[in-house]
């Protein structure tokens, strides 16, 4: 009898999967349509030109963001260009040769240098060596917060004490009080993996989110704090039942904030793509399958390396596995279709 019931449960689960999985794919692009870190329409042409060794479009784009004080876009584009220059840097070398004091060339050079230093076995020593480069980038564009975001990342890697970090933080927020990138850098410093705690991380993120102006990505900061907590727990596993209820509540509240932020943008918009990928990850970890599936629908084709690359060398594969896992879980949980008021199993 026990074996018969086990077989019936397995059959029922299979029927649910077959019946509901196609419906759950509505609004989800096929796997082959997913793009990892796809550029938006502004940075795309600059990257194409850089691939041909031409720096002028990148120079024009960054000059535009600097002159218009588009600090969030500037920060994002500097990081994208530095990532590209990591493996193909001839265009950046030409730019620096032609305009060694150009503030836009200097900021890309600085971002590239700090990325290379972070990946070096001699990280602290390499980071200390590029301190003057960060100073030069900040002096070249006095109103730009991006060099100060880099300085905050640099300070974390060089084991800066709290007072030194606070001095840099004051300089950053003086230039842009609600700059998302600077807040993310500060949140990392305050995380339990570095020089703070889960409580400090959540406190900082929640205060910043509460003060966020309309249109800001800052409401996603608590989700970043939740992710930092999850990352720490993966590195140093906790005993079952030892996670405090307050941290669970704050994690769910952080996910709710991020969901609300995501809802303010059109589906398939590349601008909030990283926030949506982060939100989907947190929701998956929390077992909130329906909410996670909705985020995957809103993401569309725009998968991002973060957060999936923190746990895998194949972030796109991790993204696709998570998306498929959510679909299958929801399909397995779906109730069997009623037939004249009776379940599929009735009468058997």
Token pair in block for residue 76: 């994002």
Q: Beta strands of the chain (E only): which ranges? A: 35-36, 302-303
- Could you tell me the sign of the dihedral formed by the alpha carbons of 97, 100, 105, 110, in that order? positive
Please report the pLDDT score of residue 247 as a whole number: 83
Neighbours of 133 (CB within 10 A): 18
| Separation of alpha carbons 108 and 110, rounded Å | 5
Please report the pLDDT score of residue 345 as a whole number: 31
Cβ atoms of 146 and 78 within 8 Å: the answer is: yes
Please report the pLDDT score of residue 35 as a whole number: 95
Please report the pLDDT score of residue 100 as a whole number: 96
DSSP 8-class letter at 36 = E
Supply the Cα-derived Rg of the chain in whole angstroms: 23
Give the predicted TM-score (pTM) of the model: 0.87
Cβ atoms of 56 and 49 within 8 Å: the answer is: yes
Token pair in block for residue 312: 């895998």
What are the pLDDT tens digits along the chain (348 aa)? 444 444 444 444 444 444 445 555 668 999 999 999 999 999 999 999 999 999 999 999 999 999 999 999 999 999 999 999 999 999 999 999 999 999 999 999 999 999 999 999 999 899 999 999 999 999 999 999 999 999 999 999 999 999 999 999 999 999 999 999 999 999 999 999 999 999 999 999 999 999 999 999 999 999 999 999 999 888 655 554 545 667 889 999 999 999 999 999 999 999 999 999 999 999 999 999 999 999 999 999 999 999 999 988 999 999 999 999 999 999 988 776 544 443 323 333
């Amino acid at each position: 009898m026990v074996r018969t019931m086990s077989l019936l449960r397995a059959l029922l689960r299979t029927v649910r999967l077959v019946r509901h999985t196609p419906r759950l794919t509505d609004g989800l692009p096929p796997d082959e349509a997913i793009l990892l870190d796809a550029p938006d329409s502004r940075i795309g042409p600059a990257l194409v030109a850089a691939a041909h060794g031409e720096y002028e479009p990148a120079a024009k784009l960054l000059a535009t963001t600097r002159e218009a004080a588009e600090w969030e876009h500037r920060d994002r584009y500097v990081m994208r260009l530095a990532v590209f220059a990591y493996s193909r840097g001839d265009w950046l070398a030409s730019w620096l040769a032609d305009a060694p004091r150009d503030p836009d060339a200097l900021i890309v050079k600085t971002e590239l240098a700090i990325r290379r230093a972070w990946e070096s076995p001699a990280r602290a020593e390499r980071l200390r060596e590029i301190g003057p480069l960060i100073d030069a980038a900040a002096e070249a564009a006095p109103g730009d917060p991006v060099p100060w975001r880099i300085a905050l990342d640099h300070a974390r890697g060089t084991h800066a004490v709290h007072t030194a970090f606070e001095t840099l933080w004051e300089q950053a927020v003086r230039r842009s009080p609600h700059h998302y990138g600077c807040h993310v850098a500060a949140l990392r410093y305050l995380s339990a993996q570095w020089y703070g705690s889960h409580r400090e991380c959540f406190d900082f993120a929640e205060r910043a989110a509460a003060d966020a102006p309309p249109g800001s990505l800052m409401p996603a900061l608590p989700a970043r704090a939740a992710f930092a907590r999850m990352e720490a727990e993966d590195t140093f596993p906790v005993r079952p039942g030892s996670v405090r209820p307050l941290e669970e509540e704050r994690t769910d509240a952080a996910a709710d904030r991020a969901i609300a932020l995501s809802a303010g943008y059109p589906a398939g918009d590349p601008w909030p793509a990283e926030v949506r990928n982060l939100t989907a990850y947190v929701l998956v970890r929390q077992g909130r399958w329906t909410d996670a599936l909705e985020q995957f629908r809103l993401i569309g084709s725009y998968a991002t390396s973060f957060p999936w690359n923190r746990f895998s060398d194949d972030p796109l594969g991790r993204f696709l596995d998570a998306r498929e896992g959510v679909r299958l879980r929801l399909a397995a949980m779906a109730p069997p279709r009623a037939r004249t008021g009776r379940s599929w199993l009735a009468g058997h």
